[in-house]
Amino acid sequence: MIDYDLEYNAERPHLIIPEYGRHIQKLVDHCIALETKEERNTMALAIIDVMGNLQPHLRDVPDFKHKLWDQLYIMSDFKLDAESPYERPSKEELQEKPQPLAYPKSANKYRFYGNNIQIMIDTALTWDEGEMKEALVYSIANHMKKCFLNWNKDTVEDDVIFSHLYELSLGKIDIRNSEEVLSESKNLLRKRNTQGQGSNHKNNKGKNYQHKNRKR
């Protein structure tokens, strides 16, 4: 009976950056074990060149070589003693947890409006009072109404939209007592349905054209 000496990946040492493969990892391990720093420097440069050829998409990334040197030190578990043209990264720095991002309070409450509405409101706040700003405010309100209807396919009163606009602007845009009337819900819904039907009509027309060509 032949006894095959098989080596399974589960029994091999852990690959720190699997994208480079086991051969690169073995080269890094060999580089660490070299006796003189001159030898380690020479081999480290050779490994960097090979890594660059294996990751050609990184060539367009700023500080391409810097990233490769950082990855080399990471694969050596920060044990490699070689001269780098860049500042050597620390293990503690990479293991440090990032600061949590705080979500905007308004986005949590009225998430269905999206970020663009908030950007438009912030822009409107920078405009001087006048007809242009008033027109922009009511355009934003109409767009908010459309977003609301996309989220909730029902009618919505203008007063609700005006109140939401007041909250999202932190009380700086107040048209709650306005007698201006926004676009009717059915018109906004009709526009959305018309756009959907138009795209479907184009798709069907394209399919019919392809079907006729096949028959020929």
Structure-block tokens of residue 31: 């580089």
pLDDT at 40 > cutoff 80: yes
- Position 211 scores a pLDDT of 47
Structure-block tokens of residue 127: 């405009």
Q: Give the pTM.
A: 0.46
Reported as half-sphere exposure (CB side, CA atoms, 13 A), residue 204 has a value of 6
With a pLDDT cut of 90, the percent of the chain lying above it is 45
With a pLDDT cut of 70, the percent of the chain lying above it is 79
Helix (H), strand (E), coil (C) string for 111-129: HHHHHHHHHHHHHHHCCCC
To 10 degrees, the CA torsion angle through 12, 16, 22, 27?
-110
- Position 122 scores a pLDDT of 92
**Other C-beta atoms within 10 Å of 151: how many?**
14
pLDDT at 49 > cutoff 80: yes
pLDDT tens profile 2-37: 555 666 666 777 888 998 999 999 999 999 999 999
pLDDT at 1 > cutoff 60: no
Structure-block tokens of residue 45: 């440069």
Q: Can you state the percent helix, strand and coil of the chain, rounding each to 5?
A: 65, 0, 35
Query: Could you give the CA distance from residue 173 to residue 77 in angstroms, rounded to a whole number?
Result: 56
Average pLDDT over residues 122-148: 93
Task: Kindly report the average pLDDT of the chain as a whole number.
Answer: 82
pLDDT tens profile 141-200: 999 999 888 888 778 899 999 999 999 999 999 999 988 888 887 777 765 555 555 555
- Position 86 scores a pLDDT of 92
Average pLDDT over residues 87-94: 85
- Position 212 scores a pLDDT of 47
pLDDT at 89 > cutoff 50: yes
Confidence label for 128 from pLDDT (cuts 50, 70 and 90)? very high
